[in-house]
Homo-oligomer: A and B are copies of this chain.
Amino acid sequence: LKWLEEVSRRYQLSIVTEVMSEFDVEPVSRVAKWLQIGARNMQNFSLLKRVGDVGRPVLLKRGPSATVDEWLASGEYLLASGAERVIFCERGVKGLAGPTRNTLDLATAIHMKNTLGQPVIVDPSHATGRRDLVVPLSKAAMAAGVDGVMVEVHPDAGIALSDGAQALDFQSLAELVGWLEASALK
């Protein structure tokens, strides 16, 4: 938390970070501008209530088998508890055992945005667990019209403490950002 605070001050960055315990809501909200609810806590309503209480914007990850209705219900619960706004993040659902950890459900992300009018971003890192699929799926998500992507990055993924297999290095990140900028200019 201290590191995040320092980074935030030094680079004038807004911080979004995950809150995992009801007891952490207050200290985390002193440092982070945005609070994130992780997929495993999407239906932890005690945590949602307390996060709503501090009145911040919230990034709400979709649970690994949550339906659209359940996902929306958690978002509405946050807003009713006082959250400033809610951004929804699709990060893959469980399904058939396959070559990826989860199944990125891009159609539902677009449905959330186009049909239901909610702000939606996509997390291809957790959806697949595979670095080589992060760039193609990020391009796919942006071409489909979602509001953003969220990718895991590590300067040296080989020594990452967690989720190394899905982290982009700086060069891949730069290429992805370049592609996104070029697309946006069209």
Binding site for B on A (CB under 8 A): 20-24, 40-41, 43-47, 64-65, 67-68, 93-100, 103-108, 110-111, 114-115, 127-128, 132-133, 136-137, 139-145, 182, 186
Residue of B nearest to A102 (CB): B107
A125 to B40, CA, bound (A): 23
Select one of B103, B133, B145 contacting A95, CB under 8 A: B103
The SS class assigned to the A binding surface is helix
Q: Within 8 Å CB of A141, what residues of B?
A: 140
Copies of this protein in the complex: 4
B103 adjacent to A99 (CB under 8 Å): no
8 Å CB contact of A137 from B96, B99, B144: B144
A152 CB to nearest B CB, Å: 15
> What's the Cα separation between A186 and B45 when bound, in Å?
46
Smallest Cβ distance from A138 to chain B, in angstroms?
9
Closest residue on chain B to residue A93 by CB atoms = B96
Indicate if the CB atoms of A98 and B144 lie closer than 8 Å.
no
Cα–Cα, bound, A93→B107 (Å): 12
Taken together as a complex, chains A and B put the C-alpha atoms of A101 and B96 apart, in Å, by: 12
User: What are 29 pairs between A and B in contact, CB < 8 Å?
Assistant: A20-B45, A22-B23, A22-B46, A23-B46, A40-B43, A40-B44, A44-B44, A44-B47, A64-B65, A65-B94, A65-B96, A93-B95, A93-B103, A95-B95, A95-B96, A99-B108, A99-B111, A99-B115, A103-B107, A103-B108, A106-B140, A107-B128, A107-B133, A110-B137, A136-B144, A136-B145, A139-B144, A140-B141, A140-B143
Question: CB-CB < 8 A to A140: which residues of B?
Answer: 106, 140-141, 143-144
